[in-house]
Amino acid sequence: MSGSPMRVVIAEDAAIMRDGLTQTLSRRGHQVVAAVPDAEALLAAVGEHRPDVAIVDVRMPPTHTDEGLRAAKAIRRDYPGVGVLVFSQYIEARSAADLFAGAPSGVGYLLKDRVADVSDFIEALTRVARGGTVLDPEVVGQLLGASRRTDALATLTPREREVLALIAEGRSNTAIAETLFISAGVVEKHVASIFAKLGLAPSDTDNRRVIAAIMYLES
């Protein structure tokens, strides 16, 4: 279950949580290479230690808003090999969309509560460290909270499901067209139809793509 030992960086401003996580991980044979209280120290630690995975609290000093989220995005951009597990007292679908933008790999987003189920938490962390994705059931609940959307995926045609699968892999429309041997125009039509069936309003194209991908991944 625990697999090979991971090298972990923890960024969490509450000492009690930082220590608790460090102990839990250490007891299971993982190595916490750094445990820091803010985003700046996090980026420095990641740069220095190149861990397998970083656990990042969203709200950290100085403003206690979304420092962790921004740091997580920076890590994903600058250190693609480092997995990032963002955890937070709250789960916002918006933040999930932000975080999963681009190719969703080596990234996770969990409620802090989930640490209570220790083994599950460690497993999720391991998955992220290995390049997988983890999304809190709460996010899925928020996105699919609409009963209207629950069965939405079922209404997709097989071709649309194929397209959505490729979207979820982070491919562009052009790449999808090449893979499926169809024209870019046809891909666009499929994409539009997918968005319509999933009930995604045309407010923000990028977010729609990501949300559709998340819905696919969680289905």
Partner 1 sequence: MIVPAARGSGRPGRTYPGLVRREWDWLLSHPVEADLLLAAVLLVATVGQSRADPLILAVSTLLVATIPLRRRYPVQAFTTALLIAALQVGLGMQPRGDYAVAALQPTVAEFVVAVLLYTLAAHTPRRTSIRGLCGCLILSAIAIARWPGSNGLHPEPAILGASALLASACLTAWVLGDSVAYRYRVAYYAALEERAARLEAERDAQARIATAAERARQLQERRALAVDESAARLRRIERDLHDGAQVRLAALALSLGEIKEDLEADNDGDGGRARMLIGAAHASAKEALAELRDLARGIHPAVLDRGLDAALSSLTESSAVPVELTVSISKRPSPAIETIAYFCAAELLANVAKHSSAAKASIVVSDDEGELVLTVGDDGVGGARPGDGGGLAGLRERVQTVDGKLRIDSPPGGPTKITIVLPGHA
Pick between residue 44 and residue 196 the one whose CB is nearest to partner 1: 196
φ, ψ of residue 135 to 5 degrees: the values are -130, 130
Residue nearer to partner 1 on the CB measure, 50 or 148: 148
* Alpha carbon separation from 193 to 143, 159, 164, 190, 198 (Å, rounded): 18, 11, 11, 5, 9
Residues lying near partner 1 in the complex (CB under 8 A): 13-14, 16-17, 20-21, 24, 27, 59, 63-66, 89-90, 92-95, 97, 111-113, 115-119, 142-143, 145-148, 199-204, 207, 211
CB of 27 to partner 1, least distance (A): 8
Smallest distance, Å, CB 200 to partner 1?
Answer: 7
Minimum gap (Å) between residue 17 Cβ and partner 1 = 5
C-alpha distances in Å from residue 122, one per residue of 38, 59, 165: 22, 21, 27
Strand partners, 84: 54, 107
Least separation in angstroms between residue 101's CB and partner 1 is 14
Residue nearer to partner 1 on the CB measure, 14 or 192: 14
31-36, strands of its sheet edge to edge: 31-36, 7-11, 53-57, 83-88, 107-111, 133-135
Toward partner 1, which CB reaches closer, 52 or 66? 66
Distance from C-alpha of 32 to C-alpha of 133, rounded to nearest angstrom: 21
